[in-house]
């Protein structure tokens, strides 16, 4: 068990036993590089334990804006939306400035990439920068800071909501699982080698990274009435983008004309957004972190899970969702 000071209140333990064997089998190279954090057992890569205390105690600024999501819930799309609203709709800069985030990678994958790029100092420098702990990257960012993370509220600074604005985006877990499955197959840091049915089995047992899914969502849902929290569903962005954009603008205290909101929505239409070079993360392929044909931004649709679930999986999924939502009034727009 990892023993941190009292400044980080949760225990960190290695994943062991059958769970570790399954992770090692399906996530190639995972080995002993998986940890579970706190009483909810959030599954993370071991890199996190070296930065856990720093993240939990990071100094906050009054104009920080945090974007929290479980992976594959519309993070990049919403980040672009928030950035543009706060930055006076500066579309030209948004198209040029790449969105970036710290990388969590298993140590053996890091060693492999370093060897692969040993003769390219520039690539090695970029790889090292990507590996810089998140707390260090955030500390160097100019204000206002736009901070995206997949960490749940409980692992972030306790004063977060009283100090900054937080946007949380949730998505139907069946669509999340499909999208995360594809990323996990294409992304070297996951390198998943099984089929979707296997992945779904791991997903509902909280054995994919950043799980447990529902604990992650419910932490934010319980705080949805806090004046500094905006809880969105990905499906709301798809169903009525103009109305949702206006909600976000109101939350951020920004006022725009109807024609400006309309122009922003055209810019954010998924087919346009996906072509934006700033969000395509082509460097992931260049540095060998993603399969050559892989796509970080996929289809941006709702309900695509039906193409992957057979009848038994559909029933199992509904039962799993119902069981996890029985103690809350949260409902996904796809289920209303």
Q: Where are the alpha helices (DSSP H) in 71-212?
A: 75-86, 91-96, 107-116, 121-130, 134-140, 160-163, 173-186, 196-204
pLDDT of residue 303: 87
pLDDT tens-digit profile of 237-283? 999 999 999 999 999 999 999 999 999 999 888 666 556 555 444 45
Measured between alpha carbons, how far is 175 from 233 in angstroms, rounded to an integer? 12
φ/ψ bin of 332: left (φ > 0), alpha (ψ from -120 to 50), beta (otherwise): beta
Mean pLDDT, residues 17-30 = 83
Among 68, 60, 57, 59, smallest CA distance to 8 is for 57
Q: Where are the domains of the chain?
A: 60-335
Which has more confidence, 35 or 293?
35
* Strand-pair partners of 192: 27
The whole-chain average pLDDT of the chain stands at 83
Sequence-ordered strand ranges (E) for the chain: 12-14, 34-37, 42-45, 65-69, 146-149, 165-170, 229-233
Burial class (CB within 10 angstroms; exposed 0-12, middle 13-18, buried 19+) of 304: middle
Q: What is the CATH code of the structural domain delimited by 60-335?
A: 3.40.50.300
pLDDT of residue 99: 44
Q: Is the pLDDT of residue 168 over 70?
A: yes
In the block, residue with structure tokens 């409980």: 154
pLDDT of residue 137: 84
Q: Which residues have C-beta within 8 Å of that of residue 247, sequence separation ≥ 6?
A: 230, 232
Measured between alpha carbons, how far is 141 from 125 in angstroms, rounded to an integer? 19
Other C-beta atoms lying within 10 Å of the C-beta of residue 112: 15
């Amino acid at each position: 068990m990892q023993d941190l000071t009292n400044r980080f209140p949760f225990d960190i333990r290695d994943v062991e036993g059958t769970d570790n064997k399954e992770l090692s089998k399906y996530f190639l190279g995972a080995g002993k590089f998986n940890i579970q954090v706190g009483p909810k057992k959030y599954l993370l890569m071991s890199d996190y334990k070296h930065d856990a205390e720093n993240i939990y105690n990071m100094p906050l600024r009054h104009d920080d804006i945090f974007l929290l999501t479980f992976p594959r819930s519309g993070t990049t799309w919403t980040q672009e939306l928030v950035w543009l609203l706060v930055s006076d709709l500066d579309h030209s800069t948004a198209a040029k400035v790449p969105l970036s985030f710290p990388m969590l990678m298993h140590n053996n994958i890091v060693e492999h990439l370093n060897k692969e790029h040993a003769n390219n100092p520039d690539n090695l420098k970029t790889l090292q920068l990507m590996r810089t702990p998140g707390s260090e990257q955030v500390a160097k960012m100019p204000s206002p800071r736009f901070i995206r993370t997949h960490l749940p509220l409980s692992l972030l600074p306790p004063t977060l909501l009283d100090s900054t604005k937080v946007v949380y985006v949730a998505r139907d877990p069946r669509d999340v699982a499909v999208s995360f499955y594809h990323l996990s197959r294409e992304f070297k840091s996951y390198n998943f080698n099984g089929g979707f049915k296997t992945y779904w089995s791991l997903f509902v047992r909280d054995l994919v990274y950043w799980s447990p899914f529902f604990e992650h969502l419910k932490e934010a849902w319980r705080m949805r009435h806090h004046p500094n929290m905006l809880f969105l569903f990905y499906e709301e962005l798809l169903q009525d983008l103009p109305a949702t954009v206006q909600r976000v603008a109101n939350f951020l205290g920004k006022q725009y004309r109807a024609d400006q909101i309309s122009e922003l929505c055209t810019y954010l239409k998924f087919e346009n957004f996906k072509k934006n070079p700033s969000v395509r993360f082509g460097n992931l392929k260049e540095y060998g972190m993603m399969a050559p044909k892989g796509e970080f931004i996929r289809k941006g649709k709702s309900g695509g899970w039906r193409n992957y679930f057979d009848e038994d999986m559909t029933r199992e999924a509904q039962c799993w969702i119902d069981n996890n939502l029985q103690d809350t009034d949260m409902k996904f727009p796809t289920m209303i």
